[in-house]
Amino acid sequence: MKHITLLYPEGHCNLGTVACIVGTVEIFSRANAYWTQQGNKQKYQLTVAGIRPKTEYIHNLVALKTDAFITDIAKTDLIIIPSATPGDETSESQLMYDWISRQYKIGAEIASMCSGAFILASTGIMDGRSCSTHWSYADAFKENYPKVNLHSDRLITDEKGVYTNGGAYSFLNLVIYLVEKYYDRQTAIFCSKVFQIELDRSSQSAFAIFTGQKHHGDTMVQQAQAYIENNINEKISVEALSSKFAIGRRNFDRRFIKATGNTPIEYTQRVKIESAKKALESTRKTVNEVMFEVGYSDLKAFREVFRKITGLSPLEYKNKYNKEAFTE
């Protein structure tokens, strides 16, 4: 029988941590039960392991009792890191990082959920690899772990025995994904039906809210960002924008990318599409009306950019998020 360790990272916990742990335990328990009911021997044992012998109440509401401590586990086959609070370093943090790294070196696979990617990245394992985390943590993650290839549009990444997940309650999609990996497709389908979790979701783009990286300290770029955001209905060329701030195009591009992580064109597109999303969510305006409001005149181009950023067409997005949506 193989072993799964579900980490309880005390000192880094929030209510999302508890939700990830409880949901994972329940789904894997049901997967185990289904597997054995089909005449198979139990395949995996799951242990919830903490990093210190201390009761920690989350929001004065709930605390979990672990099955073991990570120092008691000499070898495991899969480590699952739940959602966790980024940046709250404790005296036990390095112990946790070292244990994860050691287990990975001797053959363990690792899966992180949501902001648990910060714990995973702190081990150094993810340098040069693909990773996902909640879209709202993307800027902070890039700043703290520049060597990691972050793909905040992806719901799940799977690379060389390391799995990461976008965020929030989409951890359930990662658990179903792991059930298929560790049991089989039929068990994953069964669990998806029992818990009513959609199979094979691949993107979190439709859920992202673009706010733009503003904490970079480059005043010129901040002014350019403000100009773009205050003139959404205009067609803004990068040449005109760089000229407005009396700086050469190449230098303007370089500074903008360094500060925001986006090219000026990408940033302009994301600002315009974020405005379009809000209009489609909350008004009865047609796709054409919204398109013109955010400075596009070519419907095909608007649709292509909208789908690239959200994963949906403008009409699909409207029908999904606007209760008063109507067919155009």
The pairing of strands 44-50 and 2-8 is: parallel
Domains of the chain by start residue, with CATH? 2-207 (3.40.50.880), 219-321 (1.10.10.60)
- Asked whether the beta carbons of 284 and 326 are under 8 A apart, the reply is yes
Amino acid 109: pLDDT = 97
| pLDDT, tens only, 240-284 | 999 999 999 999 999 999 888 889 999 999 999 999 999 998 889
Amino acid 17: pLDDT = 93
Amino acid 298: pLDDT = 94
Tell the residue number behind the tokens 């289904």, with chain if given.
34
Q: Does residue 326 register a pLDDT over 60?
A: no
- Asked whether the beta carbons of 306 and 274 are under 8 A apart, the reply is no
Q: How many CB atoms lie within 10 A of CB 52?
A: 18
Over residues 164-187, mean pLDDT: 92
Amino acid 325: pLDDT = 56
Q: How many CB atoms lie within 10 A of CB 28?
A: 22
**For residue 178, what are its two tokens?**
């792991």
Tell the residue number behind the tokens 């001797």, with chain if given.
106
Please name the helix (run of DSSP H) or strand (run of DSSP E) that holds residue 52, with its range, or none.
Answer: none
3-state secondary structure of 285: coil
Tell the residue number behind the tokens 């993810």, with chain if given.
126
Give 215: exposed, middle or buried? Use CB within 10 Å, 0-12, 13-18, 19+: exposed
| pLDDT, tens only, 15-59 | 999 999 999 999 999 999 999 999 999 999 999 999 876 667 777
Q: 328 falls in which pLDDT band (50, 70, 90)?
A: very low
Q: 327 falls in which pLDDT band (50, 70, 90)?
A: very low
Over residues 187-207, mean pLDDT: 84
Amino acid 47: pLDDT = 96
Q: Does residue 311 register a pLDDT over 80?
A: yes
Indicate the average pLDDT of the chain. Answer: 90
Tell the residue number behind the tokens 């924008």, with chain if given.
241
- Asked whether the beta carbons of 133 and 204 are under 8 A apart, the reply is no
Amino acid 168: pLDDT = 81
- The vertex-207 CA angle with 202 and 211, nearest 5°, equals 125
Which is more confidently placed, 53 or 325? 53
Output DSSP code: residue 116.
G
- The vertex-295 CA angle with 327 and 279, nearest 5°, equals 40
- Asked whether the beta carbons of 40 and 115 are under 8 A apart, the reply is no
Which is more confidently placed, 69 or 324? 69
Question: Terminal CA-to-CA distance of the chain, rounded, Å?
Answer: 56
Q: Does residue 308 register a pLDDT over 60?
A: yes
Report which residue type is found at 68.
Answer: A
Lowest mean pLDDT among 95-104, 163-172, 296-305: 163-172
What size, in residues, is the chain?
A: 328
Give 324: exposed, middle or buried? Use CB within 10 Å, 0-12, 13-18, 19+: exposed
Of the candidates 171, 137, 135, which has an alpha carbon nearest to the alpha carbon of residue 156? 171
What is the percent of the chain with per-residue pLDDT over 70, rounded to a whole number?
95
Over residues 143-168, mean pLDDT: 90
| pLDDT, tens only, 71-128 | 999 999 999 999 998 766 666 789 999 999 999 999 999 999 999 999 999 999 999 9
Amino acid 262: pLDDT = 86
